[in-house]
Amino acid sequence: MTCGDCGKEFETWANQPERYCSPSCKGRAARLRRPKDYKKTQDKICPQCGEAFRGQPSSTYCSRSCVSVGSWANGRRKARPKTHDRVNYRLVKDYGITRAEYDDMLEAQGGGCAICGAPMRDSTRMRLCVDHCHNTGKVRGLLCGHCNRGLGSFGDSLAMLDKARAYLLAYQ
């Protein structure tokens, strides 16, 4: 058989006809078939920030940050709440309570976890978890991460918690 790129004669194996004698000839032929504007950059203006940039024919924005802001601004996604409203937004969306109700629950619990009493830290990363019934969605209280994961590990089952308590008492 004759190579479609260099014209050299070669043999094919296992009854599978190849058009090229080597991977380099195959790659060279593929590069020649590409459109003329492949990998050609163009001078463009970013619609988000107005900055001039050089980009591929298919690119619209100058950077990833402009892409994400532009997609929010163009209404492709729901509007993101402002930074100071995000905590309240998640509380209302996920649990149906406001930040004020969260703060009231925290004060009623003495400023800490409803089970172990661990205090809430000041940083936003160490907020207490909103414990809720997965069947009804009703909020039960605020728990630290350890207690929340512990209840979740037992599947909120009182029978399993009783068995775990009996097990611990047996080995005291």
Give 3: exposed, middle or buried? Use CB within 10 Å, 0-12, 13-18, 19+. Answer: middle
Range among 1-5, 74-78, 92-96, 112-116 rated most confident: 112-116
- Of the chain, the end-to-end C-alpha distance in Å amounts to 83
Whether the predicted pLDDT of 166 surpasses 80: yes
pLDDT at 34: 63
What are the residues whose beta carbons fall under 8 Å from the beta carbon of 115, sequence distance 6 or more? 143, 144, 147
* Cα 45 to chain centroid, rounded: 30
pLDDT at 37: 57
Q: Bin 131: left if φ > 0, else alpha if -120 < ψ < 50, else beta.
A: beta
Do the Cβ atoms of 112 and 120 come closer than 8 Å?
yes
What residues pair up with 132 in beta bridges, in sequence order? 139
Q: How far apart are CA 139 and CA 102, in angstroms?
A: 10
